[in-house]
């Protein structure tokens, strides 16, 4: 990835672009085809509980928004006309510009691939809920994390007895995680 600062037009500035819901990646692809327009679409990747179990999901970090840098005077109309774009975020006559330093800090945190993967770290004592399989929806407490195998040993109550069960880490969700609400 080339350094955006080296090729930047001094008249260019970063703006926040509002897009249609779930179309941020489409808008970004269209903008990347345009000359003298830079795009930054920070995304996150995480596991989400579904009725079929845990699945990897990729979403925009800021749903419905992405960042674009362009020359306001020459490219505003073309940027706003991109399929899926709703327009540059503005407040009346004020069109806020995002400082270059803010964008660089965000790029450093997210990384050059514009994708940050969120992994669940488990520790003994964590209260979890089983996300799939025959034990789906049951509560458990992690007793051991089994390294290298992506498995955890959990202690759960089955038939009135404390029982140790080994589960895949992808099959459990920490209590308090909003993704666990889907299991109720």
Model confidence pLDDT, tens digit, residues 35-77: 999 999 999 988 776 777 668 889 999 999 999 999 999 999 9
Number of domains making up the chain: 2
Residue 86 three-state SS: strand
Residue 142 lies in a domain: yes
Q: Which tops the pLDDT comparison, 156 or 1?
A: 156
Q: What's the CA dihedral at 167, 169, 170, 174 to 10 degrees?
A: 110
**Of 88, 117, 146, which closes a domain?**
117
The boundaries of the domain holding residue 87 are 4-117
Q: Which of 118, 117, 131 is nearest to 50 (CA)?
A: 131
**Of 117, 142, 172, which closes a domain?**
117
Residue 41 three-state SS: coil
Q: What is the pTM of this model?
A: 0.65
On whether both 113 and 155 belong to a single domain, the answer is no
Residue 148 three-state SS: coil
Query: Are 62 and 18 spatial neighbours (Cβ–Cβ below 8 Å)?
Result: no
Q: How many CB atoms lie within 10 A of CB 137?
A: 11
Does 1 score more than 50 pLDDT?
A: no
Token pair of 137, please?
């929806």
DSSP element (H, E) containing 152? strand 151-158
Does 126 score more than 70 pLDDT?
A: yes
156 - beta bridge partners? 163
On whether both 77 and 43 belong to a single domain, the answer is yes
Q: What is the pLDDT of residue 51?
A: 77
Go through 56-73 and write b for each residue having 16 or more CB atoms within 10 A of its CB, e for each that does not: eeeebbbeebbbbbbbee
* CB neighbour class for 41 (10 Å; exposed up to 12, middle 13-18, buried from 19): buried
On whether both 105 and 132 belong to a single domain, the answer is no
Stretch 113-127: mean pLDDT:
84
Provide the CA 154 distance to its chain's centre, in angstroms. Answer: 28
On whether both 96 and 141 belong to a single domain, the answer is no
């Amino acid at each position: 990835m080339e350094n955006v600062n080296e090729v930047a037009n001094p008249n260019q500035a970063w703006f926040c672009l509002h897009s249609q819901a779930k179309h941020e990646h489409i808008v970004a692809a269209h903008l990347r085809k345009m000359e003298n327009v830079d795009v930054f679409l920070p995304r996150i990747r995480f596991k989400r509980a579904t009725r079929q179990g845990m699945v990897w999901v990729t979403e925009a970090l800021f749903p419905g928004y992405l960042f674009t840098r362009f020359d306001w005077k020459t490219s505003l109309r073309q940027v706003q006309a991109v399929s899926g774009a709703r327009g540059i975020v503005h407040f009346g006559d004020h069109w806020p510009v995002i400082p270059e330093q803010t964008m660089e800090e965000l790029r450093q945190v997210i990384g050059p691939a514009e994708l940050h993967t969120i992994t669940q770290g488990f520790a003994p004592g964590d209260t979890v809920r089983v996300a799939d399989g025959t034990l789906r929806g049951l509560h458990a407490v992690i007793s051991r994390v089994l390294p290298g195998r992506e498995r955890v040993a959990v202690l759960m109550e089955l038939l009135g007895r404390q029982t140790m069960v080994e589960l895949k880490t992808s099959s459990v969700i920490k209590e308090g995680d909003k993704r666990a609400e889907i299991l109720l």
